[in-house]
Structures are given as structure tokens and as C-alpha cells.
């Protein structure tokens, strides 16, 4: 079985409290880099939709991992009025390919799959029927 590979990156964004944001994001085990520039923060790397965080009991002993939404962390720290665009691509030996984009605001996280969006637009424009769009696939 092939390994699924993905890459993601954000647009530049600013947060309310940089230290609090960095402390929370750095607690996660992410295969991604976070950079601070003159334009704000940017995340780039492998799939960083979710990160794992060590869970400890009251004695400080390791009890497991917890999955944490990186998008929720970004959302909770965004300055009012900030919007983040996240682009994601993924593939598995060219058998499965995907492209998804996300918009993160302080109030909502929206995602759009490129394949579904273009099929919906083609149906809307009368280029495909709904049945044609439902049956149109690009997999081996």
C-alpha cells in the first residue's frame, strides 16, 4: 500500500497574542513549520489539519495522545477581521489526488473540495447533468 502524502500552506495572518498562539501551537507534534514575517504568521508543511498533544494524568504520567484541530487553534487566536486561506493538496501514487481550500475566520471554518466545486459549477452552467457529475471520477 502506498503512503498518502499531503502539503498545506496558509496565507499570512495575525493573532491577538503572539506568545499565547505560539505556546499553544508549539505544544502539538506537527510536521509543519510556522514562520513569523513582517506580514504575519504562515504555516507550511505536511497535513496540519490536526495535531497530536500528549495527555498526562494528575501525577504527570503519560496516558496517551489527543487529536487537536489546528484550524480551531488558529481561529481562536485570530485578530478580529483577520481571514486565513489554507490550500491543501494530497496524493497517493497518483491514484488519488485532491485539492481542498479552507477559509478560517474568527467565527467559521469553511472548506471547499476543488473536484466537487468544479462539478457543481459544471452542472450549474449546464455542461453536465447531476448524474454525469455524480459518476465522473478521476481515480484508478
Residue 84: other Cβ atoms inside 10 A: 22
> Rounded to an integer, what is the distance from CA 140 to the centroid of its chain?
26
Closest CA to 93 of 137, 140, 46, 45: 140
Kindly tell me the sign of the dihedral angle through the C-alpha atoms of 12, 15, 21, 22. positive
50 vs 31, more confident? 31
Cβ neighbors of 58 (< 8 A, separation 6 or more) are: none
69-112 pLDDT, tens per residue? 889 999 999 999 999 999 999 888 878 788 999 999 999 999 99
pLDDT at residue number 115: 92
- What are the residue ranges spanned by the domains of the chain? 5-135
Amino acid at each position: 500500500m502506498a503512503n498518502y502524502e499531503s502539503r498545506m500552506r496558509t496565507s499570512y495572518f495575525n493573532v491577538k497574542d503572539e506568545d499565547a498562539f505560539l505556546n499553544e501551537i508549539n505544544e502539538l507534534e506537527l510536521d509543519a513549520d510556522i514562520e513569523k514575517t513582517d506580514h504575519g504568521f504562515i504555516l507550511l508543511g505536511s497535513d496540519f489539519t490536526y495535531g497530536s498533544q500528549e495527555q498526562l494524568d494528575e501525577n504527570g504520567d503519560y496516558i496517551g495522545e489527543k487529536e487537536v484541530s489546528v484550524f480551531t487553534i488558529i481561529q481562536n487566536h485570530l485578530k478580529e477581521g483577520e481571514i486565513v486561506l489554507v490550500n491543501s493538496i494530497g496524493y497517493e501514487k497518483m491514484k488519488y489526488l485532491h485539492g481542498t481550500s479552507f477559509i478560517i475566520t474568527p467565527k467559521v471554518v469553511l472548506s471547499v473540495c476543488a473536484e466537487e466545486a468544479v462539478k457543481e459549477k459544471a452542472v450549474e452552467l449546464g455542461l453536465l447533468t447531476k448524474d454525469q457529475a455524480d459518476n465522473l471520477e478521476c481515480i484508478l
